[in-house]
Amino acid sequence: MNNMKTLKKFISLSFHISPAYFFLLIFQSMMETGQVLVNVILPKYLVDELVGGRNRDNLIRFGLYIVLSNVAFLFLNKTMKRIMDVRNIYMKEKLNQAMADKIMKVEFACLEDPYYLDLKERAVFACRTMSALENLIGSVAKVLNNTVTILSLLVVMFTLSPIFVLLLVLTISISVVAQKFFSKYQLEIYKELIPINRRYGYYVSLGFDAKYQKDIRLYNMNQMLTDRVLYYNRQIYDWFKGFIRKQGVFQGFVGIINDLQAAIAYGYVGIRVISDKMGGRIGIGSFTMYVTAAINFTTSATDLGKNIMTVIQMLGYLQPFMEFMSLPDEAKKEGSIPFEGEVESLCFENVTFHYPKSEQLVLKGISFEIKKGEKISVVGLNGAGKSTIVKLLCRLYKPASGTIYINGRDIYEYEFTSYMKCLAAVFQDYKLFAFSVLENIRGGEEEEENEINRERVASLLGQVGLKEKMEELPKGMDTLFGKQYDPGGIEMSGGQSQKVAIARALYKEASLIILDEPTSALDPLAEAEIYEHFNQLVGDKTAIYISHRMSSSVFCDKILVLDGGLITDFDSHKKLMEKEEGMYYKLFQSQAVNYQI
Ligand SMILES: Nc1ncnc2c1ncn2[C@@H]1O[C@H](COP(=O)(O)OP(=O)(O)OP(=O)(O)O)[C@@H](O)[C@H]1O
């Protein structure tokens, strides 16, 4: 994505967030230019009167015009600045929020793909570390400001001489070119710094992160971490030393050009006062006006150059942000038929799948059918492809070939949101959030919280074995999950958290429920209890269980045995136990011997 495209996208994204912001920006530019023009033009009349007629009333009038217009513009500009400072913060937060929204909506595959993960990292780096969003917004506003001022002053200076304008434009062009070279160098060199900074940031953050402290202390990682931090620290220091040296040379050069511009302004306008060789003579009042105009012009032009470079630089940083923001939304992908009713049948037909950027087939043409109300266990060795089946069902990934049907229709024909309502899943790496236990279980339910749904949550908490735990808490199920943001919050063990996750899946009232390793963190008693009640918990819902605990298969109607991406068996426990050469028999027996006394 080139800079122009990035800028266009950025402006359209910002305009979408707040159209009013752009009108305010234009108004602010006009006001600031107004103040400059007033101070360029009005003093001419005052000075002419001072060296000419010296009429007292005129002097007072011109003096008053200058003072009053300055007070008015000062008031307007300060008010606008205050409004814009607040607006800029609003815009920055909104843009950050847009990025968070994007992360939540983007195709899930992108979030597991190293390219997009890196893109996301670079986007976050630009926004957080480089404050690229604020800088870009600020610089775009200043560019607008400088342009309006420059155009107005050009008109004023043209009334003196086009040659005068040409001379100034020439010197300004030299500093703009110098600025351009320096910005290019800066962008290139910053690219070198980004990876160093990221690694440095990683090792420093390890020291701050409480999660790592056990392992840091136990495996004596302190020194290793400190050495790494010092190593990258030295690299960053060396980088800045070189950079600041070059920056000094550049700033010195720009200073000389600025002095040259001032010399041209005073020199040329001065000559026009004392001689008529370069055009008609001008008075002292006009001298003041043109010199002030020229000084303001060069300052604004230099500022414009600087601000354009900052815009280009920030656009360079924001390219990953814009590329990430342009990724397609998951929900928009496809499907328009609303899913209605319950899951009556589920069918995989010759489904093959490989993960993006990998050639290796994880599922190699699998076919099976599940009917309403059936309880299915999926078993197989590590890496057999069990969790992948769940991801495909949840439309996190799309099959490479073959079709998944629900109620006789390709699942991709259904409208995304209504489809997602028909299933609930507890993933191996499920996550709970810093909301209350109740809110965690209810999730984003549209219906308002009331006594009836509170009762339902309480009953589910009872069914998964957390009733006593909730009763111990002063705020019961309204207690915040985790102590991170509330000392009164509850820190749950892995098993207890898993029970909450199971309750959350059950609360959803989806007609297809998928539990991937649902009892991995549970103690044997809790596991036995959950399994005993599973059928009761799940009721007449269709359920798919993935578990390495073979005992869980016994209560299922059928067991789907996966081996290296292929289905080797799909039958009842009883039938599969008759096949002593089959994988299921071996898996079952290998665990069963451990439980025999
Ligand atoms: N996001 C991913 N990108 C690339 N490959 C992946 C990804 N997720 C899983 N795989 C690979 O796909 C294969 C199947 O993984 P899957 O998680 O479905 O296995 P599983 O049967 O659930 O294993 P386990 O019993 O260990 O949970 C594995 O070889 C795994 O390395």
Q: What is the pLDDT of residues 285-340, one digit of tens each?
A: 899 999 899 888 888 887 888 888 888 878 888 888 888 888 888 755 678 899 99
Strands 423-426 and 409-410: unpaired
pTM: 0.69
Tell me, using a 6 A CB cutoff, whether residue 388 lines ligand 1. Answer: yes
Whole-number pLDDT of residue 331: 59
The fold of the 334-422+510-597 domain, in CATH, is Rossmann fold (3.40.50)
Whole-number pLDDT of residue 594: 57
pLDDT reading at 257 higher than 90: no
Tell me, using a 6 A CB cutoff, whether residue 384 lines ligand 1. Answer: yes
For every residue of 157-219, which 3-state class applies, written as one string?
A: HHCCCHHHHHHHHHHHHHHHHHHHHHHHHHHHHHHHHHHHHHHHHHHHHHHHCHHHHHHHHHC
Query: Per DSSP, what are the bridge partners of residue 542?
Result: 512
Mean pLDDT of 404-411: 95
By percentage, how much of the chain surpasses pLDDT 70? 95
pLDDT reading at 82 higher than 80: yes
Phi and psi angles of residue 586, each rounded to the nearest 5 degrees, phi first? -65, -45
Strands 401-406 and 409-410: antiparallel
* Closest C-alpha to ligand 1, atom 26: 382
Whole-number pLDDT of residue 305: 81
Tell me, using a 6 A CB cutoff, whether residue 386 lines ligand 1. Answer: yes
* Closest C-alpha to ligand 1, atom 13: 383
Q: Which atom of ligand 1 is nearest to the CA of 112?
A: 1
Neighbours of 594 (CB within 10 A): 6
| Residue of higher predicted confidence among 450 and 38 | 38
Q: How far is the CA of 584 from the centre of ligand 1 (A)?
A: 20
Q: How far is the CA of 118 from the centre of ligand 1 (A)?
A: 21
Q: Which of 107, 362, 517, 560 to mutate to test the pocket of ligand 1 (most atoms within 8 A of CB)?
A: 362
Whole-number pLDDT of residue 532: 66
pLDDT reading at 431 higher than 90: no
- The 10s digit of each residue's pLDDT in 552-569 is 788 889 999 999 899 999
- The 10s digit of each residue's pLDDT in 223-236 is 889 999 999 999 99
The fold of the 3-188+249-325 domain, in CATH, is ABC transporter transmembrane region fold (1.20.1560)
- The 10s digit of each residue's pLDDT in 107-155 is 888 887 778 887 888 888 777 766 787 788 888 888 888 998 899 998 9
Q: Which atom of ligand 1 is nearest to the CA of 385?
A: 18
pLDDT reading at 597 higher than 50: no
Domain range summary for the chain, segments of one domain joined by +:
3-188+249-325, 334-422+510-597, 434-503
Query: CA torsion, points 166, 172, 177, 180, in degrees to nearest 10?
Result: -140
By percentage, how much of the chain surpasses pLDDT 90? 25
pLDDT band at 376 (very low <50, low <70, confident <90, very high): very high
Q: How far is the CA of 405 from the centre of ligand 1 (A)?
A: 23
Query: Per DSSP, what are the bridge partners of residue 403?
Result: 349
Element (H, E) at 323: helix 284-325
Tell me, using a 6 A CB cutoff, whether residue 355 lines ligand 1. Answer: yes
pLDDT band at 582 (very low <50, low <70, confident <90, very high): confident
Query: Per DSSP, what are the bridge partners of residue 352?
Result: 364, 401
Contact at 8 Å (CB) between 345 and 408?
yes
Contact at 8 Å (CB) between 362 and 355?
yes
Tell me, using a 6 A CB cutoff, whether residue 356 lines ligand 1. Answer: no
Contact at 8 Å (CB) between 262 and 122?
no
Q: Which atom of ligand 1 is nearest to the CA of 389?
A: 18
Neighbours of 155 (CB within 10 A): 11
- The 10s digit of each residue's pLDDT in 483-540 is 877 888 888 888 888 889 989 998 988 999 998 886 666 677 767 766 666 677 788 8
What whole-number distance in Å separates Cα of residue 571 and Cα of residue 569?
A: 6
What whole-number distance in Å separates Cα of residue 344 and Cα of residue 372?
A: 5
Whole-number pLDDT of residue 68: 94
Q: Mean pLDDT of all residues in the chain?
A: 86
* Closest C-alpha to ligand 1, atom 3: 355
Q: How far is the CA of 563 from the centre of ligand 1 (A)?
A: 13
Tell me, using a 6 A CB cutoff, whether residue 358 lines ligand 1. Answer: yes
Tell me, using a 6 A CB cutoff, whether residue 362 lines ligand 1. Answer: yes
Contact at 8 Å (CB) between 103 and 111?
yes
Whole-number pLDDT of residue 555: 82
Amino acid at 512: L
- The 10s digit of each residue's pLDDT in 171-224 is 888 887 888 888 788 778 877 887 788 788 888 888 887 778 888 888 888 888
* Closest C-alpha to ligand 1, atom 30: 383
Q: Which of 108, 113, 360, 388 to mutate to test the pocket of ligand 1 (most atoms within 8 A of CB)?
A: 388
